[in-house]
Structure 1
Amino acid sequence: MAQALGISPQYGFSTGPVHSCPICRLPHELLGHIFRLAQRHQLGELEDDDDDSDYSTVKTQPVEVVVSQVNLYFRDIALGTRVLWRHINLGQNDSVEKLRMYLARSGPRVPLHLRLDLTRGIVALTEKLDLVFEQLDRWQRFTIHSKIETSDVPVISRLYDASAPLLEQLGLCVDDVDSENLKSVRRADSEQILTQGCPRLTVLRLRGLSMHFFRPPIPNITTLYLEQTRGLFIGYEGFKDLLTAAPALAHLSIFDAIIDEGADTWPTDSVSCIPVPNLISLRLSIPGTLQHVFSDILISISAPRLEYLVLRDVGETHLDKFWQLPGVAHKFPALHSLTFLEFDIRETDRLVMICGALPGITEFTCASSTSYAPTLLLIMAGKSPTSVENLWPNLCTLNMTLDIEDLGIAKAAVERRLGSGHLLKTLRLSRDVFDYADEEEEETLEWLGGNLVIEPFLAIARWPPGSDYDPDDTWFTN
């Protein structure tokens, strides 16, 4: 960190003159701001495309600790910048003393960002939890990972009759609940925790058993993650009730089979019966063998403002019921961005039907670990059995993983679009295409660069669009 800030690294504090160091002549406020930017960088909240930077190798200690040990000038500023100490991670190796230090240095009024990893044994857990929950009025972000909620050492159960006035983001990742605790869980209530109020809560992750046992009030929720990992299904009615209880919902991410086909069915007359009027972006991944739920969800929701759709692990037939819906092309009139992750649709006629069901796409992303020319690109290049002249006529941006041997197909697709007057503006391809291109492929890249913007396709865009880095957003990114 010291090297990243342009000064000589120190081990311990420097008590000698510091004003010979140019950076130490900066005003307190500016240097404190630099520390905060460096911390955000380390936490992953800022993009860093430079893998070779010195900074990328200095991540063993938190920024706030490192800068407080450079010299006395830095230490005074670090300790005086209270928001540097708001990020508190509590895991197996974190001591009570560290927790007390961060709480004290952040001051009594700075909102806290807390992450608790209770998946492994933690010494003095009750004492640490007492300290954390004493600060409930200061929680702004709170995430917990726990293997089991027990009656002996309750954690989330402490939130039953509680309020969190500053809480904005809550992540509950709980694998199991012990039988004794089940006796006291108010499962029938729609609001089970924080029943005294959390008026600022807008981002909520319910993973594992959390959506069944530890649900907070959700009228103000704008971003909701439903991540079923334990085989306890929420059911169609439960799913519908959950969404209709969140009228402000703008971003919905579902990793959940939702129904147990042996005990529950999706109604056949559910067309647009779940209103989500403010929904802007939707992600779907259906684990297990119930992939027809892809179609069921898309058919059931009424989302006239939906702009972004991300589908992971869609197979050949999983969208058939959706694209066969009468009038489907008018179902999502605002939809313009479509992303397929690890999809497996190679039948050209079927893919054309899917494109026809979502006609307004202006940006398409296709990311797969399988090395074959994406079917859509073959159709666009006129190299498939199904010939479609103006597939997605408004398409401007194409992002895809592509084997370097298929670069010629990309060129043919761009040429065909040019000839039809429906020009692509931006093409992003796998980095390997740029790194390992031979002379002929370099010529192809040069031709492409003369007709549109061509760039490496580095990563799937963060979700929701424009959001900060989320270390728990793993189901769609790994």
Structure 2
Amino acid sequence: MAEADHDVLALRDTPMLTDVRLRGMGLHYFRVPLTNVTELHLAPVGFPLSYAAFCTIIQSCSASLITLVVYDALVFNLAPSHVYDMPFLRRIHIYGTMIPISELLLSISAPDLEEISIAPYTRGDLVLLEEDIMHKRSPRFPKLKSLTLTLRSTFTEMIESVFDRAEFCFPGINTLVLPSFDWSLMLQCLTNSVVPRWPQLDGVALRALDDDFDVLHQFILDRQDAGAPIRTLYLDAESVKKFLVHYEDMRQKVSIVVEADPWLTQQSAAFYSEQESRFLGDD
């Protein structure tokens, strides 16, 4: 859809907006002041933004934005020709498929970025970012500490390759959020590595645990034996109950078990929060 093919409603009397959420035709028809916006959600329905329109939006809030959340096929033909400085950006959440993730991440400079969510991750999402980092020989987001991943694949080799690339692109992670129901397979793939992935990793968030705690137990033991122990587990309320019942000895190896659901916290503030499994990659 060409940006000039329709009238645009400019809301100029709302200069103090700090939380803006545009979905569907709102992306195309509404233009709101973004100079003070700290949280921005952009979700297409049917028609993606042109690259020029996307750049206009990002540029207008680049000096204030703290949280950026994008959904599905947001931008048509995203091919970064300019890098936008976003000095206060701390969180990027990328939900849905058909998003050129590498291109999005390469279009911004956020030296203090702390958290990235990719849900779901699909094959090749980080290839261009990986190539850029290899060329420059330095991480793009040096202060990144938290990574949320959901995956569509249930093949071990594919999951391991995902972790390999994610570790290369985001090497300093200390908290890994794995909200998928196949968490046990993902932990197995983390355990299979000869050298523990993310040596600084000391916190893992899981949810909806079933009764198969052996994989979790082995993961914790292996990390401890490798000198990279998991000190904090973040579990939802039901999972905490199961954990405490099944593995009393594991409590001696994990310093803190926190009743928390980081994924639910993310989703409660997002579009489509009523669709619990939409971005889990389990369908």
Give the TM-score band, short-chain normalised.
0.7 to 0.9
State the shift of 1:396 in Å.
Answer: 1.7
Any idea what the Cα deviations from partners look like across 1:323-364, whole Å, max 9, x if unmatched?
233247510011101112354374213421211210111111
Q: Partner residue of 1:311? A: 118
Q: Cα deviation per residue 1:117-172 (whole Å; 9 max; x = unaligned)? A: xxxxxxxxxxxxxxxxxxxxxxxxxxxxxxxxxxxxxxxxxxxxxxxxxxxxxxxx
Q: Distance between the aligned counterparts of 1:318 and 1:397, measured in 2?
A: 24
Give 1:25's aligned residue: none
Classify the secondary structure of the residue corresponding to 2:31.
coil
Paired residues of 2:15 and 2:34 also in contact (CA < 8 A): no
**CA separation of 1:476 and 1:328: change in aligned 2, threshold 3 A:** farther
**Among residues 194, 205, 212, which one is paired with 1:399 in the alignment?**
205
State TM-score, norm by structure 2.
0.81
| 1:324 equivalent in alignment to 2:135 | no
* CA-CA distance at 1:253 after TM superposition: 0.5
Aligned to 1:474: 273
Q: In structure 1, what is the equivalent of residue 54 of structure 2?
A: 239
Alignment check: 8 A CA contact 1:251 1:279 kept:
yes
- 1:373 counterpart (169, 184, 199): 184
Residue 11 of structure 2 is matched in structure 1 by: 194
Matching residue within 266, 276, 279 for 2:78: 266
Q: How far apart are residue 436 of structure 1 and its match?
A: 5.8
Q: What is the DSSP-based 3-state SS (H/G/I as helix, E as strand, rest coil) of the residue aligned with 1:298?
A: helix
Judge conservation of contact 1:312–1:343 (CA < 8 Å) in 2: no
The answer as to whether partners of 2:43 and 2:74 remain within 8 angstroms in 1 is: no
- Structure 2 regions of 5+ residues with no counterpart? 278-283
8 Å CA contact 2:48, 2:74 repeated in 1: yes
Which deviates more from structure 2 when the two are superposed, residues 334-343 or residues 403-412? 403-412
Q: Would the alpha carbon gap of residues 389 and 298 (structure 1) be closer, same or farther in structure 2, given more than 3 Å must change?
A: same
1:362 maps to which of 174, 190, 203: 174
Decide whether the 8 Å contact of 1:342 with 1:367 is kept in 2. no
2:104 partner SS:
helix
What is the CA distance between 1:305 and its match in structure 2? 1.4
Q: In structure 2, what is the equivalent of residue 301 of structure 1?
A: 108
Unmatched runs of 5 consecutive residues or more in structure 1: 1-181
Q: Counterparts of 1:206 and 1:362 in 2: how far apart (Å)? A: 32
Task: Please list, as runs of the form range in 1=range in 2, the aligned pairs for 1:96-245 lying within 5 A after superposition.
Answer: 185=7, 187=8, 192-195=9-12, 197-229=13-45, 231-245=46-60
Q: Which residue in the other structure is 1:454 paired with?
A: 257
How far apart are 1:414 and its partner, in Å? 1.3
Aligned 1:59-74 pairs, distance under 5 A: none
Further displaced range: 338-347 or 247-256: 338-347
Q: CA deviation at 1:399?
A: 0.8
**Structure 1 residues 239, 473: closer, same or farther in 2, change over 3 A?**
same
Deviations 1:292-320 (A, max 9, x none): x1222122221111111111121233223
Instruction: Give the structure 1 partner of residue 216 of structure 2.
Output: 410
Aligned position for 2:280: none
Shift of the 423–476 alpha-carbon distance from structure 1 to 2, 3 Å rule, reads: farther
What's the offset of the Cα at 1:272? Answer: 6.7
Aligned to 1:99: none
1:275, distance to aligned residue in structure 2 (A): 2.6
For residue 304 of structure 1, give the secondary structure of its aligned residue in structure 2: coil
Query: How far is the alpha carbon of 1:471 from its aligned partner?
Result: 8.0
Relative to structure 1, the CA distance from residue 470 to residue 402 in structure 2 (aligned partners, 3 Å threshold; closer, same or farther) is closer
Matched residues in 1 for 2:217 and 2:170: separation? 24
Q: Verify: 1:280 aligned to 2:86, yes or no.
A: no
* CA pair 426-343 structure 1, distance change in 2 beyond 3 A: farther
Contact 1:223 1:250 in 2 (8 A): yes
Residues 355 and 456 of structure 1, relative CA distance in 2, 3 Å threshold? same
CA contact (8 A) 1:329 1:358 kept: no
Distance 1:471 1:248 in 2: 20
- Counting matched residue pairs gives 266
TM-score by length of 1: 0.50
Displacement after TM superposition at 1:470 (Å): 4.3
Cα pair 2:205 2:262 within 8 Å, conserved: no
1:351 has 2:160 as partner = no
Quick one: distance in 1 between partners of 2:180 and 2:233? 16
TM-align CA RMSD? 3.0
Residue 340 of structure 1 aligns with an amino acid whose one-letter code is: L
